């Protein structure tokens, strides 16, 4: 499930981070990044997202090994955000975007997405997809500003239907969730 940084209206310019491809030694550090990022969901009574499991390290490792995981790092080369994805039905699917609380609203998420989109294009993908909360300002509207549009699940195929079923099984209210797509 893709999440994002805080709304830009709260943003402060940040130049003290860089984006790079993830390395295997980054993987154990990404759970705390994701946990910190998810704290924002407490503000909209979605505490289960803050308290739930973080991404499986084997999936993060798979993304790293396929060059589909990027990290934003501070001046000490410590991750403050990450974005990663995988191929689903020939589309590049964003599995997660997470930015630590202290770095939210500073352009880190946008920088991660810009690099992810650039790399996906370079690899020949013509479409990027993600699932997210339709109306939360740091989810659907934020991705919309990056050129993503909501699509119906039946436009996307069986794997996307399975993905939404899995999200429902994990407690998401499917009336609030959507699939978004960006044509490259």
Return the closest-CA partner of residue 131 out of 93, 104, 84: 93
Kindly state whether residue 49 falls inside one of the protein's structural domains: yes
Tell me the pLDDT tens digit for each residue of 41-71.
Answer: 999 988 888 888 899 999 999 999 999 999 9
Task: Tell me how many domains the chain contains.
Answer: 1
How many C-beta neighbours within 10 Å does residue 16 have? 11
Q: Which two tokens stand for residue 77?
A: 């080369």
Residues of the domain holding 132: 8-183
pLDDT band, residue 8 (cuts 50/70/90): very low
**Tens digit of pLDDT for each residue in 66-91?**
999 999 999 999 999 999 999 999 99
CATH number, domain with residue 104:
3.40.630.30
């Amino acid at each position: 499930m893709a999440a994002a940084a805080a709304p830009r209206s709260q943003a402060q310019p940040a130049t003290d981070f860089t984006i790079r491809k993830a390395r295997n030694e980054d993987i154990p550090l990404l759970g705390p990044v994701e946990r910190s990022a998810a704290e924002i969901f407490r503000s909209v009574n979605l505490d289960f997202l803050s308290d739930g499991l973080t991404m499986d390290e084997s999936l993060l490792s798979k993304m790293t090994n396929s060059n589909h995981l990027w990290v934003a790092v501070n001046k000490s080369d410590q991750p403050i955000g990450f974005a990663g994805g995988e191929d689903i039905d020939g589309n590049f699917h964003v599995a997660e975007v997470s930015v630590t609380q202290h770095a939210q609203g500073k352009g880190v998420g946008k920088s991660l997405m810009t690099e992810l989109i650039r790399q996906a294009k370079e690899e020949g993908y013509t479409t990027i997809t993600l699932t997210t909360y339709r109306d939360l300002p740091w989810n659907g509207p934020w991705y919309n500003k990056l050129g993503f549009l909501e699509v119906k699940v039946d436009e996307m195929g069986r794997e996307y239907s399975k993905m939404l079923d899995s999200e429902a099984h994990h407690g998401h209210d499917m009336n609030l969730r959507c699939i978004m797509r960006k044509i490259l």
